[in-house]
Amino acid sequence: MKVNNLYIQDTIVASASAAGIGGINIIRLSGVHTEKIIKIILGKIPPSRVATHTKFYDKEKNVLDVGIAIYYPNPDSFTGESVLELHAHGGRFIGKNIINSIVDMGARHAEPGEFSKRAYLNGKIDLIQAEAIADLISSGTERSAIAALQSLSGVFSDAVTSLEKKLIKLRLYVEAAIDFPDEEIDFLSDKSLLDLVDNCEKSLNDLFHKTTYGQILNDGLKIAIIGLPNAGKSSLINLISGQETAIVTDIAGTTRDILKAQVDIDGLSLEFYDTAGLRDDPDSIEAEGIRRTNNIIEESDVILWVHDLSLQPTIEQNLEVNVPLIKVFNKIDLIQNLKKNIQDIYISANTGEGLEDLYDAIKQSVKYESAGDGAFSARMRHKDAIKNAINHFSLGKEALIHERAGEIFAEEIKLCQAALHEMTGVIDSDDLLGRIFSEFCIGK
């Protein structure tokens, strides 16, 4: 993999430990001047890949700290460059003093995610694995952390690479037939070719399904709770959170701001948002709450429309959305001989009855299943890339089957392959690459 010259010329340093006071602060240094700086800060270059107890010095030979130093010569390091890790004592002053001294020796402060970015640019990890590092750090559930580890270990990348190889085989077969027209090969009479086409199509769809699942697992779901005033939305958010998150009264329009509760259900992070009641004549403050409600609706993955069963008849409002909408009928504890519609959910925010049914309905609405051992984390970028790949494959198959146009088929398969390859490493836009790594924390 080609390395940008910028990363050959400089050396970076940052703390790889979380901000705040702790027992140990790990400071990481990487770049072409690492050995030169090691000779200053340690006095000599220690044995490679050995934890060495030593003093840390500044340029004037003043002792900065005493700790552990580990030296990783290039290319056998995380970044592919020479790396030094200093395990110093925790505390704001010591770490800051060491880093500033290293900068004074010729390094510069690292940008967010720059160590991982160098690992990617130097071919130590692919882009999916680099993103998995950030996903692992930010994972909010045990299941999402396990999935991120799967992506980091290469499970997702291997699935993409395996599919790319199938597409290359398919494209080369067709291109060979095009290059030798005298052989008069009939594409559609070759069962092995059609079997390979079907196999590739199935693999693409399977990968899309797994990636969609991985993206939900990684990002969680944002769920808006909407409805008329006094339908029980605030009572529901209190039930979900297990505490009095929202004020509950008989007065309509109590909720003016957006309230949030987060729960982990079967490894999936669910973020519920209690919103202002929807009505036609709110006061000015309540109107602002309704405006915020509409914003939450636009950003949500699932919408719960809460109805009050004690009101007869239930008032309906028109709402057009492009995400799953679940009707939730509240206050079943007040209704006798209740007749239920199988497609709706019935709960009591007062007693908690029906809450598990609601959680199941949310999972079913996005086709979430209990993750298997092979589940991996993914991002919307990956889903979009596979959608693009599937689109090109479908166009190519159409040209092959109905038009017998092998040239068009081969070109669409090439574009399909390129779309997949973008996921693991080929990024044309430096701006996109910058956005990906800017999400990382300093020192990673």
Burial of 56 (0-12, 13-18, 19+ CB in 10 A): buried
In the chain, domain spans: 6-124, 142-217+375-424, 221-300+302-365
Q: How many angstroms separate the CA atoms of 140 and 204, rounded? A: 29
| Average pLDDT score over residue span 380-403 | 92
How is domain 6-124 classified at the architecture level of CATH? 2-Layer Sandwich (3.30)
> Nearest CA to 173 among 148, 195, 142, 156?
195
Measure CA of the first residue to CA of the last residue in the chain; give whole Å. Answer: 20
- pTM of the predicted model, to two decimals? 0.75
Assigned token pair, 265: 């259900």
Following DSSP, what letter does each residue of 243-298 receive, concatenated?
S--S---SSTT---S-EEEEEEETTEEEEEEE-PPP-SS--HHHHHHHHHHHHHHH
Question: What is the pLDDT confidence band of residue 392, given thresholds at 50, 70 and 90?
Answer: very high
Q: What is the pLDDT of residue 243?
A: 63
| Average pLDDT score over residue span 23-37 | 95
Q: What is the pLDDT of residue 311?
A: 77
Question: What is the pLDDT confidence band of residue 6, given thresholds at 50, 70 and 90?
Answer: very low
Burial of 169 (0-12, 13-18, 19+ CB in 10 A): exposed
- Taking the CA atoms of 317, 321, 326 and 331 in sequence, report the sign of the dihedral they define: negative
Least confident range of 31-40, 61-70, 225-234, 407-416: 225-234
Q: Which CATH superfamily is domain 142-217+375-424 in?
A: tRNA modification GTPase MnmE domain 2 (1.20.120.430)
Q: What is the pLDDT of residue 72?
A: 97
Q: How many residues does the chain have?
A: 444
**How far, CA to CA in Å, does 90 sit from each of 17, 24, 56, 68, 96?**
9, 4, 14, 13, 10
8 Å CB contact between 63 and 55: yes
Q: How many angstroms separate the CA atoms of 82 and 371, rounded? A: 39
| Average pLDDT score over residue span 44-66 | 96
Is the model's pLDDT at 287 over the cut of 50? Answer: yes
How many Cα atoms sit within 13 Å of 19 on the Cβ side? 2
Q: What is the pLDDT of residue 433?
A: 60
- The better pLDDT of the pair 45, 404 is held by 45
- The better pLDDT of the pair 68, 218 is held by 68
Peptide bond into 313 cis (omega under 30): yes
Is the model's pLDDT at 3 over the cut of 50? Answer: no
The whole-angstrom distance between residue 157's C-alpha and the CA centroid of its chain comes to: 15
Q: How many angstroms separate the CA atoms of 110 and 95, rounded? A: 14
8 Å CB contact between 15 and 25: yes
| Average pLDDT score over residue span 342-349 | 91
% pLDDT > 70, the chain? 81
69 phi and psi angles, rounded to 5 deg: -120, 135
Q: How many angstroms separate the CA atoms of 36 and 278, rounded? A: 66
Amino acid identity for residue 22 in this structure = G
| Average pLDDT score over residue span 263-267 | 87
> Nearest CA to 270 among 261, 279, 278?
261
Q: What is the dihedral angle through the alpha carbons of 118, 122, 127, 132, rounded to the nearest 10 degrees?
A: -60
Q: What is the pLDDT of residue 322?
A: 83
If one counts every other C-beta atom within 10 angstroms of the C-beta of residue 250, the result is 6
Is the model's pLDDT at 412 over the cut of 80? Answer: yes
8 Å CB contact between 88 and 10: no
Assigned token pair, 204: 């693409």
**Top-confidence range, 143-152, 228-237, 316-325:** 143-152
Assigned token pair, 94: 């010591």
8 Å CB contact between 151 and 132: yes
**How far, CA to CA in Å, does 25 sit from each of 58, 114, 159, 170, 387?**
17, 18, 37, 52, 43
Q: What is residue 233's three-state secondary structure?
A: helix
Rg (CA), the chain: 28
Segment 63-75, tens digit of pLDDT: 999 999 999 999 9
Question: What is the pLDDT confidence band of residue 172, given thresholds at 50, 70 and 90?
Answer: confident
| Beta pairing, strands 221-227 & 259-265 | unpaired
Least confident range of 164-168, 372-376, 420-424: 372-376
Average pLDDT over the chain, rounded to an integer: 84
Q: How many angstroms separate the CA atoms of 58 and 78, rounded? A: 26
How is domain 221-300+302-365 classified at the architecture level of CATH? 3-Layer(aba) Sandwich (3.40)
